[in-house]
Structure 1
Amino acid sequence: MANAPVATGDTRTPEAGDREQPALFRLAARTHIAATPTEVYAVVSDLARSGEWSPECVGGTWISGEPGTVGAVFRGENLRAADVVAWAPVVRGTWFTESEVVAAEPGRSFRWSMRDTAGVRQDSVWSYEIEPAPGGSVLTHRFRMGRATEGIRGITAALDDAGKRRFLADWNAKVAADLPVTLERIKRVVEKKA
């Protein structure tokens, strides 16, 4: 397997809720890391360290629950540059999100769902999945959004149908570019420690 992260469309079998309505976004990227699944999991499940690898999240804090466990809530601090989908009315500069851990299987899988301003989980899930592989592990980073989140609805509210389609295509391309960047940075962090 090549060492460089590779972004792809996410070809997993749709989940039950996906059959009713196609996902707005379904993306994945994967890379090989020269470390055990346990070592990889210890890094990626620590969302407070996200600033070390995320193109937008600069870090944050756990605000409820036991950090890294199902039900724990993380408040992320994010920073978005002016040139990110520059034509669209997206938040620029510093902004905050809340997410809730929805799966935490040490050495295997870590997933979190974005919450809306009322604290309700949305149909927007980020994940890391880890598989043992010769010489270490394969780490897959996925993003799936079924129904539009509160944020996406706010961005597209004033756009006509063509503008909405353009935004969704441009945002898809942005996330597809971010996933391999995130993985390459995680790879450097983990392999430096291993």
Structure 2
Amino acid sequence: MPTSESLTYSESIHIDAAPAAVYAAVSDVTRIGEWSPVCRECWWDEGDGPRVGAMFTGRNVDSGREWQTRSQVTVADEGRAFGWSVGPGFVLWACTMQESGDGTLLTEAWEFLPAGLAVFEERFGDEAAAQIADREAAARAGIPATLAAIKRAIERSS
């Protein structure tokens, strides 16, 4: 797989809540474990929170494998967008909010960056393509599941 290209995927869902309420939920990384089928929990570095440059750690579990990631917040635009870079520099995750009728259109986007693909090629060698395909499949299955869980949680609390 060429490392000069990235892999991307995104989906959207309508949530019956204002963009500010959706932002408040998705920018609280400590809640990701409630929604994600892979990420079990996240925690901020001491004193950090949802601001550009803030760092946090995530604990992930998939197919009997467990690992932690370090991430840095790349965008924190209240009511509009929240995103982070895993690695940093390997994978981008972003949630954008758009006012839509009486609610919000929440879009979750994933981008496996060239640097992340290169790390996988170095780490997994001949197995890199299969490992990358597994991560892409996890994103394609996980994003709609995560969006549905976010929707349920926000609408239940509204």
**1:52 aligns to 2:34 (yes or no):** yes
Query: Is 1:21 equivalent to 2:13 in the alignment?
Result: no
Q: Aligned equivalents of 2:54 and 2:150: distance in 1?
A: 22
Please say if residues 65 and 72 of structure 1, whose CA atoms lie closer than 8 Å, have aligned partners that are also in contact: no
- Report which of the two has the higher share of helix: 2
Q: Aligned pair 1:68/2:50, yes or no?
A: yes
Identity of aligned residues (%): 34
TM-score (norm 1): 0.73
Deviation at 1:137, TM superposition (A): 0.3
**Residues paired across the two proteins, number:** 155
Match runs of 1:36-185 below 5 Å: 36-64=18-46, 66-82=48-64, 92=65, 94-115=66-87, 121-149=88-116, 152-153=120-121, 155-157=123-125, 159=126, 164-185=128-149
Q: Which runs of 5+ in 2 are unaligned?
A: none
Closer, same or farther: CA 66–165 of 1 in aligned 2, 3 Å = closer
Q: Deviations over 1:43-99 (max 9, x none)?
A: 0000011111011111121115530101110011112223xxxxxxxxx1x321110
Q: Which has the larger radius of gyration?
A: 1
Q: Structure 2: which amino acid aligns with 1:128?
A: C
Choose the corresponding residue for 1:188, options 146, 152, 157: 152
Distance 1:191 1:179 in 2: 18
Q: Unaligned regions of 5+ residues in structure 1, if any? A: 1-19, 83-91, 116-120
Q: Which stretch shows the higher mean deviation, 139-148 or 40-49?
A: 139-148
- Note the aligned Cα RMSD (angstroms): 2.0
Query: Contact (CA 8 Å) 2:121, 2:128: kept in 1 or not?
Result: no
Aligned with 2:144: secondary structure? Answer: helix
